Amino acid sequence: MAESCMPSYLKSITLALCLFSVTAAAQDGASTTAADTQLQSLMDAHWAYTLEENPILATAAGVNDYNHLLPKVSPLDQSRRLRMEVAFLQQLGVIDRSQLSANNQLNHQLLAWVLETSIEGMRLNTRRIPFNTFDSFFTGALQASYGIAMTTEADYRAYLARIGEFPRYFRENIDNMREGMRTGFVLPKIIIDGVLPTVQAQVYDNPEDSSLYEPFARISTRLSARVQQQLRSEARAAISGYAVPAFRELARFLEDEYYPAAATSLAAEDLPNGKAFYAHQIKIYTTRTDLSVAQIHDIGLSEVARIRLEMNAVITQSGFTGSFEEFTEFLRSDPQFYTNDEKQLLKEAAYVAKKIDYVMPEFFGILPRAPYGVVPVPDEIAPNYTTASYNSGPVGGIRGGAFWVNTFALDQRPLYELPALTLHEAVPGHHQQTAIARELEDLPAFRKELYFSAFGEGWGLYSEKLGIEMGIYETAYENFGRLSYEMWRACRLVIDTGIHAQGWTRQQALDYLSNNTSLSAANVRAEVDRYISWPGQALAYKLGAMKIWELRQKAETELGDAFDIRSFHDAVLGQGALPLELLETMIEEYIAESK
C-alpha cells in the first residue's frame, strides 16, 4: 500500500510496532519499566486502531474525530482487521509478563482476551449475521450520534455526513448477509418476522418523523437563523435521500431475499460449524470455558427448582390461597398492577430510582459523577424490544445514562417488576458499573469502554437481590417480581442451551418461561425470540451473578467482622469490567489485603 493511501491509524500503528520491535530486541531482560513502556505503546496503538475502525465506539468514548463516519464492514475491511489484530497479538506475546507491574499484568491479560476473542470471531465469520432482536447494525446507526454535543455548524455537518454513510454501511451488511445465505449461516425465519416491521417503520414519508431529525428539531440557537434553516433543509434531504432509501432497501432485502433463505431450525449448533460458533458465543458472553453445554443446562434446572421453592414461600406470605399458576395469572391480569398512562409508568420507575439513590452511600464508598435518567424506549423499536435496558451517554456529551423503560403495550408492563428492573438497569446496576469504569483514572482507555456480559449482567442480577438489603422491596408482590426476574435468568440457562444444543422448539421455550415466571405474554415472546437470535448472551446473567455471590460469601466468611459491604462493592467495580476468572483473582487479592 502506498503511504499516501494509508489510513492515519495505520501509519501511527506501523511506526509504533516498528519502534516496539526495536526496543523489545534491545531491552530483552531489561527492567520492569521497559516492559511497561512497551505494553503502553502497544495499548496506545491498539486504541488508536480501535477508534478509527469503530467510529460509533469512538463517539461513545468522547472522541469526536470520527463523528462523520460509520464502520466499514466489507470482506476487505474484515481481512485488514484480522491481519492487524493477529499482529497486535504477536507483539503482545513478545512482552515478558513477569516484568510488568501488577496493573500492567492485568492490562496484558485483558488485551490478550480482547484480541483472541475478536480474532476467533473473525475467523468464524460471525459478521454474516449482523443483528438480533435486541441489537443490530441499523439501530446502532440510528443511535450512533445520540447524546453528543452539537453547538457548531461543523458538528451538524459531521452528523449529516454520518447520515450520508447509511447506504454504504447498510449495503455492506446486506452483502455480508448474502454471504451468509450462500453458506447457510442465517437467522431463523421467526426472527425476521419480528424484526422486519421495525425496519419498515423507518421508511418515513416525512423525514421530520425520523429520530434522526431530533438534533435539528432542537438546533443550537448559537447558529444564525439562516444557518439553522439551511441545516434543517439539508437534514430533511439527507434523511430522505440516504437513510430512508437505506431502510427501504434493507426491508426489501429481508422480505424478498433473506426470508426465503432463512433457517427453519432454531439451533446455533445446526448452522455450518455450529458447535464451534455456539462455543465461541458461550465463551464471549460467560467468559468461561470450563463448563459444558450440558453442565450449564443442569445448573439452570437446579436453580429453577431452588427459586421455585422461594416463590412458593412468598405466595404464602402474600396471603394468596390459590396455586402457583393461579397466582401468576392474578399478577398478569389484575388491574391494580398496571397503569394505562405511559407517563405514570415512567414516574413510578423514577420514584423507585430516587428511592435507591437515597440509600446508595450505605452500600458504596464510590459513587459515579455521571447522572442518569428514566427514558421511554424509542417508539420505532419498542414493539419488538425487551422490557427495559440501560444505554450510557457518550463521554463529554449532553446526556447522562438512560434507563430505558418500554412503554409499549402497558398492559404487559407490571408495576411490581419496577424495583428489580430499576436496580438492574440503573443503580446500583448498569449505570453504577458503567459510569464507575469510565471515571476510573488509572485504567487505560480501552478498558474504560470494555464490557463483559458475565460481569455486567451478572452485576445487574446481583444488584436485584441486593435490593433486599437496601430495603427497596415494599410488598410481597414486588419481592415475587424480583424472584420472577431471578427465575427468568435461571430459565435462560435452560432455554438457551435447550434451543441451541438440545433441539428445543420455540413453543417449548415459550411454555417453559411462561410456566415458571410471572412475565407477561409479550415479554415472554420477546425474550424467547431474543435467545433464538442471540445465542449464548442469555447465559451471562445467572452465571455471572452466581460468581459474584460466591465471591461475596467467601469474603464474608474469611473476613468475618472485618467485612465491609461498601469496600467489597468498590473492589468488585474498582477495576472496570473483568472476565469472571480475573474478577475472582482480584477479590482474592482484596480479601488478602483486607486481612
Q: 421 and 353, same structural domain?
A: yes
Q: 109 and 168, same structural domain?
A: no
Q: What is the pLDDT of residue 380?
A: 80
Which of 216, 242, 264 is a domain's end point?
264
Q: What is the pLDDT of residue 27?
A: 41
Q: 519 and 583, same structural domain?
A: no
Which of 468, 506, 507 lies closest to 485, judged by CA?
468
Q: What is the pLDDT of residue 48?
A: 98
Cell triple for 71: 464502520
In this structure, is residue 271 part of a structural domain? no
Q: 315 and 436, same structural domain?
A: yes
The burial of 436, by beta-carbon neighbours within 10 Å (0-12 exposed, 13-18 middle, 19 or more buried), is given as buried
Size of the chain, expressed as the number of residues it contains: 595
Cell triple for 544: 455471572
In this structure, is residue 243 part of a structural domain? yes
In this structure, is residue 269 part of a structural domain? no
Q: 151 and 213, same structural domain?
A: yes
**Which residues fall within 8 angstroms of residue 40, CB to CB, at 6 or more apart?**
104, 444
Domain that holds residue 421: 278-545
Q: 478 and 395, same structural domain?
A: yes
Q: 142 and 110, same structural domain?
A: no
In this structure, is residue 238 part of a structural domain? yes
Q: 509 and 454, same structural domain?
A: yes
Q: 527 and 501, same structural domain?
A: yes
> What is the count of structural domains for the chain?
4
Instruction: Write the DSSP assignment of 296-344 as a string of letters.
Output: HHHHHHHHHHHHHHHHHHHHHHHT--S-HHHHHHHHHH-GGG--S-HHH
Tens of each residue's pLDDT in the chain, 595 residues: 333 344 444 444 444 444 444 444 434 444 567 999 999 999 999 999 999 999 999 999 999 999 999 999 999 999 999 999 999 999 999 999 999 999 999 999 999 999 999 999 999 999 999 999 999 999 999 999 999 999 999 999 999 999 999 999 999 999 999 999 999 999 999 999 999 999 999 999 999 999 999 999 999 999 999 999 999 999 999 999 999 999 999 999 999 999 999 999 999 999 999 999 999 999 999 999 999 999 999 999 999 999 999 999 999 999 999 999 999 999 999 999 999 999 999 999 999 999 999 999 999 999 999 999 999 998 888 887 889 999 999 999 999 999 999 999 999 999 999 999 999 999 999 999 999 999 999 899 999 999 999 999 999 999 999 999 999 999 999 999 999 999 999 999 999 999 999 999 999 999 999 999 988 888 899 999 999 999 999 999 999 999 999 999 999 999 999 999 999 999 999 999 999 999 999 999 999 999 9
- Find the DSSP H helices in 125-204: 137-142, 153-164, 166-183, 189-200
Q: 308 and 246, same structural domain?
A: no
Q: What is the pLDDT of residue 32?
A: 63
Peptide bond into 428 cis (omega under 30): yes
Q: What is the pLDDT of residue 360?
A: 98
Q: 253 and 116, same structural domain?
A: no
In this structure, is residue 270 part of a structural domain? no
Which of 98, 124, 150 is a domain's end point?
124
Cell triple for 82: 484480522
* DSSP assigned state of 131: B
Strands 401-405 and 372-376: parallel
Q: What is the pTM of this model?
A: 0.92
